[in-house]
Amino acid sequence: MKKFLALLLSLALMATLLVGCGGGEKETGKTGDTKKVEDTKKDDTKKDDAKKDDTKEPANSKTVKVGITIYKFDDNFMTLYREELERYFKEELSNDEVTYEVTVVDGKNDQAEQTNQIQTFIADKYDVIIANLVQSSAASTVVNLCKDADIPVIFINREPTAEDLDLWDKVAYVGADARQSGTMQGEIIYDLENHGDLNGDGKVSYVMVIGDPENVDAQYRTEFSIKALTDKGIEVEELVAQRGDWDQAKGQEIVAAALTQYGDQIEVVFCNNDAMALGARQAIEAADRKVGENIYLVGVDALEEVVSYVKSGDITGTVLNDHIGQAHTAADVAVKAVNGEQLEKNYTVDYVKVTK
Ligand code: GAL
C-alpha cells in the first residue's frame, strides 16, 4: 500500500513537472492540453496588447506620409490653420494602427518654389498632398503631376476652378465660400442705425483694402461686401481700392494714405482680412479718428486680437473664418483619399458674423 502511494505521488510529481515546463503539447499529444497552452498564449498576447494600449507604442502601426505646402508661412490666418492641421493629424488622427507623418513646407509666396516642393513630395512617395497654392492658376499643373504619380491632392484656402477639380477624381477643395464672408461684412455695416452713412449725405463712401487680386477670397469679399449694401438700396462711393497682400503693414500704409487724402469723407474701411484691418486700426488711431463715432472698420478671419478690438469697440466687426473646421475637414478628406474613398469636389465650412 505504501509502495502504491509512493508510486502515485511520484506520478503526480512527474505530471506537475511536465505541465510546469510548458512544452506539453507535443509530449502529451492530447488536444485538450494543446488548447490550454494556446489559450495561455492568447492570454499573453492580450496582455501585450494591453501593454501597447497603455504606452501608445505605434509598434506595428502603418505610417501615412502627408505633405503639406502653405503659400507662405508669414500669414496670420494661414499660420493658425497650418498649426491646427498638424496638431489634428498628430494628436487626433494618429493612433495604434496608423501614424500620420506630417511634413509642412513654406511656399514662400513663390509658385515655382512650391511646384518644386510638390515634386519632391511626389519623388519621396508621399501618400497624400495638401496644397495651399501660391497661385490658384497652378492647380492644373499640380493635379497633372499628382495624377501621373497617383497621389491624391487636396487643395485648401485658395479655390481652383471647377475645370481643374474635374481633371481627376482624387482631387478635392476644402475652403469657405468667400461670397458669404463679403456679404456678412456688408451686412455688419447695413445693420448699423445709419447703414454706414455717417455724414448723412445719402451715400456710403468707403476704402477697400484688397488681399491679393488673383485670389477668389479677395475678389468675392471685395464684390459681395458692397453688393450686400447696394442690394438693399444703399448708394455707395468708392474712394480708394488698393491691394494690401493680406498684410498688416500694407493695410496700415494704404489706410494712412487714404485718410490723408480723403479725411472725413471716408465713412467705412473694408479690409479683405483681419491682418490688414489691424493695420487700418493703427492708421485710424494715428489720424485721431474714432471707430464707431466717425468711421467704421470691418475685417475677416476673427483673429483673437481683432475679436478683442471688436469687444472694445475699436473695430466695428469681423467674420469668423473657421480655421479649425477647415483644418479638420482638410485632414479628414485627405484620410478618405488615402483610404481610396470617393471624394466630393468641394467641402465648405461656414463663416460666422462677429460683432460686439
Ligand atoms: C484668406 C484669409 C486671409 C489670408 C488668405 C490667404 O482666407 O482670410 O487672411 O490668409 O486666406 O490665402
316 and 193 inside one domain = yes
192 and 305 inside one domain = yes
Q: What is the pLDDT of residue 11?
A: 40
Say if residue 44's pLDDT is above 70: no
Residue 248 Cβ < 6 Å to ligand 1: no
279 and 330 inside one domain = no
Instruction: Provide the whole-model pTM.
Output: 0.82
282 and 301 inside one domain = yes
- Counting ligand 1 atoms within 8 A of each CB, the residue from 77, 85, 174, 276 with the most, and so the one to mutate, is 77
Q: Point out which residues pair with 105 in neighbouring strands.
A: 69
Q: Which residue has the cell 502601426?
A: 61
What is the domain-level CATH number for residue 107?
3.40.50.2300
Sequence-ordered list of residues with C-beta below 8 angstroms from that of 249, at least 6 positions apart, any chain: 279
Each residue of 112-126: pLDDT tens digit? 999 999 999 999 999
Looking at the structure of the chain, the number of domains it has is 2
212 and 256 inside one domain = yes
167 and 189 inside one domain = no
Of residues 9 and 255, the one with the higher pLDDT is 255
What mean pLDDT is predicted for residues 82-105? 97
Say if residue 315's pLDDT is above 70: yes
Q: Evaluate whether residue 40 is within a structural domain.
A: no
Q: What is the pLDDT of residue 355?
A: 97
Q: Please, are residues 116 and 143 in contact by the beta-carbon 8 Å criterion?
A: no
Say if residue 205's pLDDT is above 90: yes
Say if residue 32's pLDDT is above 50: no
The whole domain housing 200 covers: 179-320
Q: Evaluate whether residue 308 is within a structural domain.
A: yes
- Band of pLDDT at residue 61, cut at 50, 70 and 90: confident
Of 40-44, 230-234, 239-243, 321-325, the range with the lowest mean pLDDT is 40-44
Q: Evaluate whether residue 10 is within a structural domain.
A: no
What mean pLDDT is predicted for residues 175-201? 97
Quote the Cα angle for 263-303-230, to 5°: 50
Q: Evaluate whether residue 160 is within a structural domain.
A: yes
Question: From CA 290, how far away is CA 245, in angstroms rounded?
Answer: 25
Q: What is the pLDDT of residue 60?
A: 72
What mean pLDDT is predicted for residues 167-195? 98
- How many A from CA of 273 to the centre of ligand 1? 7
Q: Evaluate whether residue 113 is within a structural domain.
A: yes
307 and 191 inside one domain = yes
Question: From CA 187, how far away is CA 193, in angstroms rounded?
Answer: 12
172 and 183 inside one domain = no
What are the DSSP E strand ranges found in 25-133?
62-70, 98-106, 128-131
Q: What is the pLDDT of residue 304?
A: 97
Of residues 53 and 130, the one with the higher pLDDT is 130
Q: What is the pLDDT of residue 23?
A: 33
Q: What is the pLDDT of residue 34?
A: 32
DSSP string for residues in 285-347:
HHTT--BTTTBEEE-SB--HHHHHHHHHTSS-EEEE--HHHHHHHHHHHHHHHHTTPPPPSEE
Sequence-ordered list of residues with C-beta below 8 angstroms from that of 28, at least 6 positions apart, any chain: 18, 34
Q: Which residue has the cell 486700426?
A: 281
Distance of CA 346 to the CA centre of its chain: 14
- How many A from CA of 213 to the centre of ligand 1? 12
Instruction: Give the single-character DSSP code of 201.
Output: S
- Band of pLDDT at residue 340, cut at 50, 70 and 90: very high
Query: Within a 13 Å sphere around the CA of 134, how many CA atoms are in the beta-carbon half?
Result: 18
- How many A from CA of 245 to the centre of ligand 1? 9
Q: Which atom of ligand 1 is nearest to the CA of 218?
A: 1
Q: What is the pLDDT of residue 59?
A: 60
What mean pLDDT is predicted for residues 92-108? 97
Quote the Cα angle for 128-130-135, to 5°: 135
Q: Point out which residues pair with 354 in neighbouring strands.
A: 318
Q: Evaluate whether residue 55 is within a structural domain.
A: no
Q: Evaluate whether residue 19 is within a structural domain.
A: no
279 and 263 inside one domain = yes
Q: Please, are residues 347 and 329 in contact by the beta-carbon 8 Å criterion?
A: yes
Q: Evaluate whether residue 354 is within a structural domain.
A: no
Cell (9 digits) for 26: 507535443
Q: What is the mean pLDDT of the chain?
A: 87
Say if residue 109's pLDDT is above 60: yes
Query: Would you call 245 helix, strand, or coil by DSSP?
Result: coil
> Position 245: which residue type?
D
Say if residue 211's pLDDT is above 50: yes
Q: What is the pLDDT of residue 26?
A: 31
Residue 246 Cβ < 6 Å to ligand 1: yes
Torsion of CA 137, 141, 144, 146, to 10 degrees: -90
